[in-house]
Amino acid sequence: MNKRILVIEDNEQNLYLVTFLLERHGYEVIAARDGKQGIRTATEQVPDLILLDIQLPSMDGYAVAARLKESAVLAPVPIVAVTSYAMAGDREKALASGCSGYIVKPINPDTFIGEIKAFLDTGTSGGEQL
């Protein structure tokens, strides 16, 4: 069965690119444009992995991750933060809020799928490790 990935991303261009890359490699993609919608979709369709943009309207990615981790059903689902922030403090913040790791924007199409695969395989590593 195909792995299901929830992409929480408010930028249409990034969402398009990520969806394109994931679907081309056989993943099922479900999308949400903000944190509230993301939490609702995750609860209804329990994905295998969540790709979470940190810069989201109203509720930022850190708050979304913390909320997702409060759910017993969703707590085991790895969350990968996607952000243009590259400061060490932001990685710590992502980890503290429950993310398993970190991918930096802009998405590199050549390495992206490998990073996602690593997170799916181990749940805790791949991409830029925290």
Measured from the CB of residue 76, what is the shortest distance to Mn ion in angstroms? 25
Per-residue contact track with Mn ion, 23 to 62, x per CB under 5 A?
------------------------------x-x-------
- Helix (H) or strand (E) holding 28, with range, is strand 28-32
Rg (CA), the chain: 13
Count Cα atoms within 13 angstroms, Cβ side, for 17: 13
Give CA 127 to chain center in angstroms: 11
Choose the stretch contacting Mn ion; rule: CB under 5 A; options: 5-13, 69-77, 80-88, 95-103: 5-13
Binding site for Mn ion (CB under 5 A): 10-11, 53, 55
